[in-house]
């Protein structure tokens, strides 16, 4: 069996995955805290694939871009569970390579197997455990709707030859189904000159889900970094899943703030994805040069904010990283970001792009809004 999420393939392990498995499983930060020893060679990893990872309902976690195994996830039947579970319940276990920590990939995989367990297999509850001190696994479980159930002390960890304290969490099918409807929020971030009230337009697309319009005060990306991070961290305490809708400079501020680890899915409308390039374009529009800006530090212009040398240097020294499944709506008549700039971002971040012929940077006419609405409906339902 094989599953697909926004960013991942979950598929059976094969012996061809041995090199990739060894690359990540040899890291002492991965296995020991989960209860298994580091892999010692490619041959050792191949043997683990044959003897352990070939079990039913065990899957390699693979990025869609190359189908390379970077972690593992699997369902554990009652007879093999690490705690006492009922016959119609199931346990889940997982790990992922260190380079992919903090990107929300394992929660994405867990949610897919929750759907499989509760819908396809008819399980009534799912269990998960973590050893004392494994805070990353604890947070992942909380994000996926699990709640604390009990702790087992002085528990032998056979593969590591020691004794540990293990905490167990649990989510029932009813809790999972309720969480699908309520434990999710849509965060709307407006562009320059916009307002949080614009979020009301998007409620129609997300019935039963909270929609939050962020009334941020920041005017510069270094200010937004702290303000955006604080707000999204606050929302993540209340919601397990955050969907982002961001327009224009709001998209850039979001990416620059580094909030991607909290975001499950993003929809960008006329996004500024390369603010440095925009400022360089503005320098040309103003008929001046970088050297002149460096000398004068500030150059007033009559078509936007003053040009600032310090602002330009900030952008050059703070490159954005955005590893979030992202859909982009772009108008071919956008006068702030060129199609080449957008496509470069799309390739770099594996985003998906929809272009409205004749669409402007600011979607506001009846025709443009109708296109935007249909685009969002299609992407949500798809």
Q: Which pLDDT belongs to residue 304?
A: 77
Q: Crossing angle, helix 221-238 and helix 249-256, to 10 degrees?
A: 80
For the cut 90, the answer to whether the pLDDT of residue 333 exceeds it is: yes
Q: Which pLDDT belongs to residue 68?
A: 95
287-305 pLDDT, tens digit each: 999 999 999 999 998 887 8
- Output the six-digit token pair for 359: 């669409």
Measure the CA angle with vertex 114, ends 111 and 115; round to 5°. 90
113-122, 172-181, 323-332: range with lowest mean pLDDT: 172-181
Phi, psi of 309 (to 5 degrees): -65, -40
For the cut 60, the answer to whether the pLDDT of residue 206 exceeds it is: yes
80 vs 6, residue with greater confidence: 80
Q: Which pLDDT belongs to residue 99?
A: 93
For the cut 80, the answer to whether the pLDDT of residue 159 exceeds it is: yes
As a whole-number percent, the residues of the chain with pLDDT over 90 amount to: 84
CB 301 within 8 A of CB 307: yes
Mean pLDDT, rounded, for 137-142 = 92
User: Over the chain, what is the mean pLDDT?
Assistant: 93
Mean pLDDT, rounded, for 335-351 = 94
For the cut 80, the answer to whether the pLDDT of residue 345 exceeds it is: yes
Q: Which pLDDT belongs to residue 181?
A: 56
For the cut 90, the answer to whether the pLDDT of residue 103 exceeds it is: no
Distance in angstroms (rounded) separating the CA atoms of residues 4 and 156? 36
7 vs 197, residue with greater confidence: 197
Q: Cβ of 290: how many Cβ atoms within 10 Å?
A: 13
Measure the CA angle with vertex 74, ends 71 and 78; round to 5°. 155
184-200 pLDDT, tens digit each: 899 999 999 999 999 99
Categorize the per-residue pLDDT at 162 as very low, low, confident or very high, splitting at 50, 70 and 90. Answer: very high
Q: Which pLDDT belongs to residue 240?
A: 78
Task: Name the E strands within the chain.
Answer: 3-4, 8-11, 58-63, 69-76, 89-96, 125-131, 147-157, 162-172, 184-189, 210-213, 241-247, 265-269, 298-299, 307-308, 326-331, 352-356
Mean pLDDT, rounded, for 17-26 = 97
Q: Say what the alpha-carbon torsion angle 192, 196, 202, 204 is, to the nearest 10 degrees.
A: -160
Mean pLDDT, rounded, for 211-218 = 94
Q: Which pLDDT belongs to residue 6?
A: 79
For the cut 80, the answer to whether the pLDDT of residue 327 exceeds it is: yes
260-290 pLDDT, tens digit each: 989 999 999 999 999 999 999 999 999 999 9
Categorize the per-residue pLDDT at 182 as very low, low, confident or very high, splitting at 50, 70 and 90. Answer: low
Q: Which pLDDT belongs to residue 208?
A: 75
Distance in angstroms (rounded) separating the CA atoms of residues 357 and 247? 18
For the cut 60, the answer to whether the pLDDT of residue 63 exceeds it is: yes
For the cut 60, the answer to whether the pLDDT of residue 119 exceeds it is: yes
């Amino acid at each position: 069996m094989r599953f697909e999420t926004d960013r991942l393939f979950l598929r059976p392990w094969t012996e061809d995955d041995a090199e990739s498995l060894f690359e990540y499983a040899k890291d002492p930060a991965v296995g020991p805290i989960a209860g298994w020893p580091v892999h010692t060679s490619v041959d050792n990893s191949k043997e683990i694939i044959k003897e352990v990872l070939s079990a039913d309902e065990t899957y390699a976690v693979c990025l869609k871009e190359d189908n390379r195994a970077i972690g593992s996830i699997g369902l554990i039947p009652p007879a093999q569970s690490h705690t006492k579970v009922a016959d119609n319940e199931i346990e889940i276990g997982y790990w992922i390579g260190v380079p992919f920590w903090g990107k929300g990939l394992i929660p994405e995989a867990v949610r897919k197997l929750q759907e499989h367990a509760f819908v396809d297999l008819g399980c009534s509850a799912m269990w998960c455990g973590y050893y004392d001190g494994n805070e990353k696994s604890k947070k992942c479980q909380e994000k996926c709707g699990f709640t604390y159930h009990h702790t087992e002390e002085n528990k032998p960890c056979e593969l590591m030859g020691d004794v540990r304290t293990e905490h167990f969490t649990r989510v029932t099918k009813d809790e999972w189904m309720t969480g699908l409807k309520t434990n999710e929020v849509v965060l709307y971030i407006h562009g320059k000159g916009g307002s949080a009230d614009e979020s009301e337009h998007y409620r129609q697309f997300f019935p039963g889900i909270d929609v939050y319009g962020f009334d941020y005060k920041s005017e510069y990306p270094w200010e937004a970094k702290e303000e955006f991070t604080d707000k999204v961290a606050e929302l993540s305490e209340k919601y397990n899943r955050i969907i982002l809708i961001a327009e224009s400079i709001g998209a850039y501020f979001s990416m620059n703030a580094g909030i991607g680890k909290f975001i499950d899915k993003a929809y960008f409308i006329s996004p500024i994805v390369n603010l440095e390039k925009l400022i360089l374009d503005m320098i040309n529009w103003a008929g001046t040069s970088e050297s002149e800006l460096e000398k004068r530090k500030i150059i007033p212009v009559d078509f936007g904010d003053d040009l600032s040398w310090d602002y330009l240097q900030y952008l050059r020294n703070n490159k954005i990283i955005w590893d979030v499944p992202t859909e982009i709506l772009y108008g071919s008549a956008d006068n702030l970001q060129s199609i080449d700039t957008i496509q470069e971002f799309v390739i770099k971040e594996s985003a998906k792009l929809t272009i409205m012929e004749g669409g402007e940077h600011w979607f506001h006419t009846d025709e443009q809004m109708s296109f935007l609405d249909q685009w969002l409906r299609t992407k949500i339902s798809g």
